[in-house]
Chain A
Amino acid sequence: MTSAEKYVLAAYLVFLAAVLAYLVIIALKVGRLEQELADLARLARERRGG
């Protein structure tokens, strides 16, 4: 591979890496939201259940 090709590949990989990193962040966020929702649901049940 010529050096130019290496750099072009690098640029596209950086873009791909950014997309994947963003997906990971979103996945973590969804996980956190689910956790928080579960806590609140439990809290609500306790409140109603007495």
Chain B
Amino acid sequence: MSAYATDVATLARKDVLLELRSRDTLPAMLLFVVSALVVFHFALPADASDRAEIGLFWIALVFTALLGLTRAFAAEREQGLLDGLVLAPVDRSAIWAAKAISVVVFLALAEAVALPAYALFFQPVGWELVAAVVLADVGIASIGALLAAMAAASRSRELLLPLLFLPLAIPAVIGGVGASVAENPASFLGFLALYDAVFAILAWASFEYVVTE
């Protein structure tokens, strides 16, 4: 594998190992997404439209992602470790790529629980919803990983990350909800792919500036 891919793999393995060791982000995300869906059930009127239910699913997804992202650079921040990674002879965007991959992994695990729960509580899950979720995860993780590193340098991290993240997540929600509801989801899935590409490239190119001075 190319040197870059090796570094990304090394760093991603470390992120997943850290999570398995501390076991604080993943259980929280799983519990959060299911309890959010249950709360939504009570929040919705009995004859709620499909679109209302789908909309709430996507809100649950975005906030579950936020939960994971708030913890994304927790270890590096609390132990002042980012310098260690930035010092290494590694392309700094590999740190971002590894973190984004680990966020996608945690999100996917949370969705592996959320989608069946949604099918159980609300309505059957179509392939287009699953495709939209996968595509949205990529965009959310790419942007979120960069914003998490940015917020790590600020004083009020937990407060700042949602503010930075939500406006950027609006297109993902529009694409996601649209794909799940529209007769031909193709245009929405295509939009999500464009959204992923634009922001993944921008995040990949600008991460270096977020971690060096």
Q: Touch between A and B in complex, CB under 8 Å? A: no
* Residues on B facing A (Cβ under 8 Å): none
* Residues on A facing B (Cβ under 8 Å): none
